[in-house]
């Protein structure tokens, strides 16, 4: 096994010629481990009481145990799908009438569609690795026994998510793109900050809220039944994670000083500003000859881009308000982003238990559809 230490993430896409699982075909000498080191200072705690202090958090933990799924056994990887049809519903491509796109051959248009999907799913993959590491940190630094148990169950959830998105990228898309620099910046901030509650805010409310919005948008628009099944399974987990974060933070934030609350509110605003504008990538468009600045603006203003932002902030803004981080000082900033109208929408503190307790739809997709 070769270990390669790097000072930053890769900057070029990786392609996979063999769509199958290579794990059983490679020897340790064939594998190069690429590592980027970061340092963090965690203040951990033991909890010697072992008492159930929060019945909602314990119930979410029990659901996490009950609804574990296996990325290898419970996903129908063999479901038939003609990749020539493209991965998304027609009419969603913001560049469908752009001269550069119209000049592409039909084969190039199909390749563009799959690479566009791969770029987005690659960010899911990288974000889930960040969530995996943050969840593992929360096991150490969460201040209560209930939270430690839930963070441990979430760590396993995130490991499954990394596994399933990695396999889909190799199996269907055959390409993986590097992490978006702004997503990496946000993950670095959350991972390296020593404050446990900022990790909760950053991951459980912001990053997980972003993930749910993106998953909902994609699940509604994909043609691929395999991807829809993957997203449905992952969204069930993410729904529990966001509910955990909002319910757990609500009381803890109130105990902070005004200065500490404002500091965290400003962090939440800055993260939301990044999510609204700077997570849109044009790397695929540039590969196919588009102007980067024009492509970025068209993506942001597109129907899909607008739907994504609506999903994102319809969840995130009321959650921030519920936990006490939509303060008077940051409200005007959110108003300038055009998202403050969502402040009185339903929050994830009001848990939809019926939805979270619904049996999982796993196994062959054809059998599920026939039931």
Q: What is the largest CA-CA distance in the chain?
A: 67
Q: Count CB atoms within 10 A of the CB of residue 370.
A: 7
Contact 135, 160 (CB under 8 A): no
Q: Determine the pLDDT at residue 311.
A: 81
Instruction: Work out the burial of residue 347: count CB atoms within 10 Å of its CB; fewer than 13 is exposed, 13-18 middle, 19 or more buried.
Output: buried
Report how far residue 54's alpha carbon sits from residue 157's, in angstroms, rounded to the nearest whole number.
21
Contact 245, 208 (CB under 8 A): yes
Helices marked H in 145-257 — which ranges? 145-168, 181-192, 196-199, 208-221, 225-254
Contacts of residue 280, Cβ cutoff 8 Å, sequence gap at least 6:
296, 299, 300, 305
CATH of domain 2-370: 1.10.620.20
Handedness of CA 237, 157, 200, 38 (dihedral sign): negative
290-297: long-range contacts at Cβ-Cβ below 8 A with a sequence spacing of 24 or more? 290/95, 290/98, 290/100, 290/101, 295/95
Report how far residue 4's alpha carbon sits from residue 16's, in angstroms, rounded to the nearest whole number.
20
Give the tokens for residue 217. Answer: 């948008």
Q: Determine the pLDDT at residue 182.
A: 92
pLDDT by 10-residue block (mean), the chain, 371 residues: 81 78 58 84 91 91 95 94 89 90 95 96 96 96 94 97 97 96 94 94 92 89 96 95 94 93 96 85 95 92 82 91 96 94 91 92 61 41
The domain locations on the chain are 2-370
pLDDT tens track for 121-161? 999 999 999 999 999 999 999 999 999 999 999 999 999 99
């Amino acid at each position: 096994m070769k270990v390669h230490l790097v000072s930053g993430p890769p900057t070029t896409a990786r392609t996979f010629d063999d769509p199958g699982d290579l794990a059983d075909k490679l020897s340790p000498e064939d594998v190069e481990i690429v590592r980027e080191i970061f340092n963090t200072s965690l203040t951990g705690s033991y909890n010697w009481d072992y008492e159930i202090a929060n019945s909602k958090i314990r119930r979410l933990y029990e659901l996490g145990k009950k609804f574990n799924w296996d990325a290898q056994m419970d996903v129908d990887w063999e479901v038939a799908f003609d990749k020539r049809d493209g991965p998304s519903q027609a009419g969603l491509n913001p560049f469908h009438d752009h001269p550069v796109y119209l000049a592409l051959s039909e084969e190039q248009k199909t390749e563009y569609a799959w690479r566009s999907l791969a770029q987005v799913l690659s960010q899911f993959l990288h974000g889930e690795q960040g969530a995996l590491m943050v969840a593992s940190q929360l096991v150490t630094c969460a201040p209560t026994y209930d939270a430690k148990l839930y963070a441990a169950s979430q760590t396993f959830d995130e490991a499954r998510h990394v596994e399933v998105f990695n396999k889909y990228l190799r199996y269907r898309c055959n390409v993986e793109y590097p992490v978006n620099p702004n997503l990496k910046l946000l993950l670095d901030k959350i991972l390296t900050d020593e404050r446990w509650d900022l990790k909760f805010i950053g991951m459980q409310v912001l990053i997980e809220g972003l993930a749910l919005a993106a998953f909902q948008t994609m699940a509604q628009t994909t043609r691929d039944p395999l991807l829809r099944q993957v997203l449905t399974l992952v969204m069930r987990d993410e729904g529990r994670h966001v509910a955990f974060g909002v319910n757990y933070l609500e009381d803890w934030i109130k105990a902070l000083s005004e200065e500490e609350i404002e500091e965290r509110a400003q962090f939440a605003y800055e993260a939301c500003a990044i999510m609204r504008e700077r997570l849109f990538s044009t790397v695929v468009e540039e590969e196919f000859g588009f102007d980067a600045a024009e492509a970025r603006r068209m993506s942001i203003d597109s129907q899909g881009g607008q739907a994504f932002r609506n999903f994102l902030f319809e969840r995130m803004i009321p959650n921030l308000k519920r936990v006490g981080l939509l303060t008077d000082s940051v409200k005007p900033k959110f108003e300038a982003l055009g998202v403050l109208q969502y402040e009185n929408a339903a929050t994830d503190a009001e848990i939809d238990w019926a939805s979270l307790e619904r049996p999982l739809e796993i196994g062959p997709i054809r059998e599920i559809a026939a039931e």
